[in-house]
Chain A
Amino acid sequence: MDLLSTPISASTILAWEITLGDWFFIVSIGLFLVELLRYALLKHFGWKLLGDSFANAATFTGYTTVSYFVFYGLYGSLFFLLHDFALLEIGSNWMTIAICVLLADLLYYWEHRFTHRVNLAWATHSVHHSSPHFNLSVAYRFGPLDDLWAISFSLPLVFIGFDPILVFFTTAFVLLYQTFLHTEAIGRLPWPIEAIMNTPSHHRVHHGSNPQYLDRNYGGMFIVWDRLFGTFAREEAPVVYGLVKQIETVNPVKVWLQSHYDLARDLVRTPGLANKVGILVHPPGWKPRGPKSVPAKLPLGEKA
């Protein structure tokens, strides 16, 4: 039988996922040490960088714990439940796996755009962006609820008919691909790669707080979605990493939870249910209009 159409079992795919995740982690630690050496040679090495990297490791520990105990079980059952109502019947082979990776990457683009443009989701994703540094340890800096959004946006693939285990694998694969993008050590790659794939250069832009770099380059594996949907920016001016308003702390607890605390505080302080909902669903920085900017009687209302 043709190699491309040979069925591949779910247990094989699950084994890939576990092996791949573990190896990426081990290789990342090795390459991170190389990065530290490079920073030392460039005299960019300091206690702040070390403290930031320690905070990154701490967030990863917390994030993994939450994912294992809450999201994997919850979504495992939800995936298999939803699969019973799937629209199509899709078996796994090399061709359907390739299509599933492509579609998972497309859905990742939207998940990523969503977590940047909707305040409720930005609370968790902003953790990944709050480091003023950019190295492989930042790749493992995650907010407590990051997996909630990552897995939610993969549900359509299960509903279409892809095997739940395959969807789980492709979702993780798109995230794993991005690990090695978090580095300053690699400049621009040859243009055919930069044209199609997400690269360290494109991803540095994504982590930039420079005005021209905000809300750009959401792509996971492929940058074509950003080029297609008008959210692409090329790396030109030197990137200032981090948030528009820097957090100025490497305290792991603050790094991990401060954004949710701030969101909760804003919700409590803002009067009116509509305004509270507004804060949750609008982009970061949104504020309800002050009483002065809203006329007591809207002129349009009288005409209608």
Chain B
Amino acid sequence: MKHRAFFAAVATTLALLIGGGLLSAHLSPSAVEAASKPESAHHDGLSVAVQGLRSNDGQLIVLVYDDEEAWNSFDMEGLVGYRALAPADAAQVAHFPELTEGPYAVALHHDINGNGDFDMSGEVPLEGYGLSGATGPADEPSFKRASVAPGHVAIQLHYLVDAD
């Protein structure tokens, strides 16, 4: 009898852990965002606004993915959208009218020296970067969490090393 009560308590605990986990995953930021976006707003495609640009040097590269594997490795072959903008363009909005399906994950790269490479020093990025869905400079969201529906999306650039 005592053992039965103990095992019932353990079973209840496991059920609450699994249930709580599933509910949390359902209530997570990306899931909630995707569910609350009205479908009709998507016909104009995807427009990406860049925030926090530190200088007008080089070029600003916008990469759009719709495939998880390509996103995970930042594979240039798997892109569905690509823009190289002059940072001086006041609007700093990249518009992709053809991207109306989604979900998409977006990466920004401020190629300060204009060499076309994302320059790193070991593990430390030397140039500005930003990812959709990221909560901070150290956050590398998975495709699911980085996912955005077509429409308007703003992405923050991060610079770990001074941009001058």
Task: Enumerate chain A interface residues (CB-CB to B < 8 A).
Answer: 1-2, 5-11, 87-93, 95-96, 99-100, 102-103, 106-107, 110, 156, 160-162, 228-230
A110 and B6 alpha carbons, distance in the complex (Å)? 11
Instruction: List the B side residues contacting A100 at CB < 8 Å.
Output: 20, 24
Taking a contact as CB atoms under 8 Å apart, the answer to whether A228 and B9 are in contact is yes
A5 and B30 alpha carbons, distance in the complex (Å)? 9
Taking a contact as CB atoms under 8 Å apart, the answer to whether A11 and B136 are in contact is yes
Taking a contact as CB atoms under 8 Å apart, the answer to whether B13 and A89 are in contact is no
Instruction: List the B side residues contacting A228 at CB < 8 Å.
Output: 9, 12
Shortest CB distance B32–A (Å): 4
Taking a contact as CB atoms under 8 Å apart, the answer to whether B24 and A96 are in contact is yes
Residue B17 at the A interface, CB < 8 A? yes
**Of the residues A89, A99, A102, A110, contact of B145 by C-beta under 8 Å:** A89
From known contacts A1-B33, A90-B24, infer whether A229 and B5 are also in contact, taking CB-CB under 8 Å. Answer: yes
Residue B22 at the A interface, CB < 8 A? yes
A10 and B21 alpha carbons, distance in the complex (Å)? 18
Taking a contact as CB atoms under 8 Å apart, the answer to whether A10 and B135 are in contact is yes
A133 and B17 alpha carbons, distance in the complex (Å)? 36
Taking a contact as CB atoms under 8 Å apart, the answer to whether A106 and B21 are in contact is no
Taking a contact as CB atoms under 8 Å apart, the answer to whether A106 and B17 are in contact is yes
Shortest CB distance B12–A (Å): 7
A1 and B5 alpha carbons, distance in the complex (Å)? 44
Taking a contact as CB atoms under 8 Å apart, the answer to whether B21 and A87 are in contact is yes
Task: Enumerate chain B interface residues (CB-CB to A < 8 A).
Answer: 5, 9, 12-13, 16-18, 20-25, 27-30, 32-33, 36, 135-136, 139, 142, 144-145
Instruction: List the A side residues contacting B21 at CB < 8 Å.
Output: 87-88, 90, 103, 160-162
A99 and B25 alpha carbons, distance in the complex (Å)? 11
Taking a contact as CB atoms under 8 Å apart, the answer to whether B28 and A90 are in contact is yes
Instruction: List the B side residues contacting A92 at CB < 8 Å.
Output: 29, 135
**Of the residues B12, B16, B22, B30, contact of A88 by C-beta under 8 Å:** B22
Instruction: List the B side residues contacting A91 at CB < 8 Å.
Output: 28-30, 135, 145
Instruction: List the B side residues contacting A90 at CB < 8 Å.
Output: 21, 24-25, 28
Taking a contact as CB atoms under 8 Å apart, the answer to whether B144 and A103 are in contact is no
Instruction: List the A side residues contacting B22 at CB < 8 Å.
Output: 88
Task: Supply 25 A–B pairs (Cβ within 8 Å), ascending by A.
Answer: A1-B36, A2-B32, A5-B27, A5-B29, A5-B32, A7-B29, A89-B28, A89-B144, A90-B21, A90-B28, A91-B29, A93-B29, A95-B24, A96-B27, A99-B23, A99-B24, A100-B24, A103-B16, A103-B17, A107-B17, A160-B17, A160-B18, A160-B21, A161-B21, A230-B5
Find the B residue at minimum CB distance from A8.
B135
